[in-house]
Every structure is written in C-alpha cells, then in structure tokens.
C-alpha cells in the first residue's frame, strides 16, 4: 500500500508517493497513482512537501528524506551518482557514465536517468547533453530549464 499527496509547486502540481517509511515517487502532472493507493498523507510526505517548499524558496540545497528507489543495480548506481551532482551544477551523460565506472554506457545512463522515479529529490534535471544542450526530461524541457535556472541563481547568490 502506498500513500499519495498532491503538492503545488512553481513547476506545477507534484504527486508525492511513499510506502509509509520512504519516499518512493515524485511525479509531475499527468502521472496516475497505482490502483489501491491511498490519497492520504503521512509524516514522510508532509516532511517532503516542506523540503520541496524550502528548495523552491532557496532555503534547501539537498533533500534528506529516506528514499525507496526500486530499480536494477545499474539504475541504483546511476541514481546514486545523480545525488552526488552538486546543487547548481550539471553533468553530461558521459560524465555520469564515467562517474559510475562505465564510460561507454552513456545511452544506458540516459535510460536509467529517464526512469528515475523521484524527480527533483534525485536530481535527474542536472544531466545535460555533452554539448551543453538541455536534452530530454520526463517533466518537459521547460521544467528542466526552470529547475536549473532556480539552482544556478541560488548558487550565484550564495557564492557571488
């Protein structure tokens, strides 16, 4: 059984999903919860919503809610590497592949990135093309632009 909370954000409504102990999903508008999901909040979802508000308000750079990322061992490695990309920075698919010790696996890294079930918290938006282009993003390129601009502006304020 999972709990589901709808949360408004500057990038539109977000659907937060927990198993009661860990955040297992964070989805943009258009995602439908699985059959049997409870449209009820829990303490974890409330904490995640607070952290999202702090992130969008420029008061949080790294999330610390417990995560339940279900995926293959390769996907797990990619998702872990995503969490290591510093706030306000980007990495290419090739750099991410290098980071997990699989330099020739750029396409597989891209596929794993696209299957990330916990957007924003596991910052798949920080991955870009080798030429600096904003390549595919499940939430749409406009949301990706917004998230990157938000982080880069906050980083400049903090370090500038």
Catalytic residue among 24, 52, 69, 124: 124
φ and ψ of 133, to 5 deg: -75, 150
Residue 116 falls in which region: left (phi positive, over 0), alpha (psi -120 to 50) or beta: beta
- Structure tokens that stand for 73 in this block: 């061992």
Q: Strands of 14-18's sheet, edge to edge?
A: 3-7, 14-18, 23-28
How far apart are alpha carbons 157 and 36 in whole angstroms? 44
Active site residue 141: no
The answer to whether 22 touches 44, Cβ cutoff 8 Å, is yes
Provide the annotated active-site residues. 124
């Amino acid at each position: 059984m999972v709990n589901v909370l709808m949360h408004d954000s500057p990038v539109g409504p977000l659907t937060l999903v927990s198993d009661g102990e860990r955040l297992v999903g964070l989805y943009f508008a258009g995602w439908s919860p699985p059959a049997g999901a409870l449209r009820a909040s829990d303490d974890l979802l409330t904490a995640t919503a607070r952290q999202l508000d702090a992130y969008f308000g420029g008061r949080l750079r790294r999330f610390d809610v417990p995560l339940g990322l279900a995926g293959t061992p390769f996907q797990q490695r990619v998702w872990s590497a995503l969490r290591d990309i510093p706030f306000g920075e980007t990495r290419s698919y090739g750099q991410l592949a290098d980071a997990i010790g699989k330099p020739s696996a750029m396409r597989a890294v891209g596929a794993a990135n696209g299957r990330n079930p916990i957007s924003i918290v596991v910052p798949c938006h920080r991955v870009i093309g080798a030429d600096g282009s904003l390549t595919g993003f499940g939430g749409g390129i406009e949301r990706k632009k917004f998230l990157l601009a938000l982080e880069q502006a906050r980083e400049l304020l903090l370090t500038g």
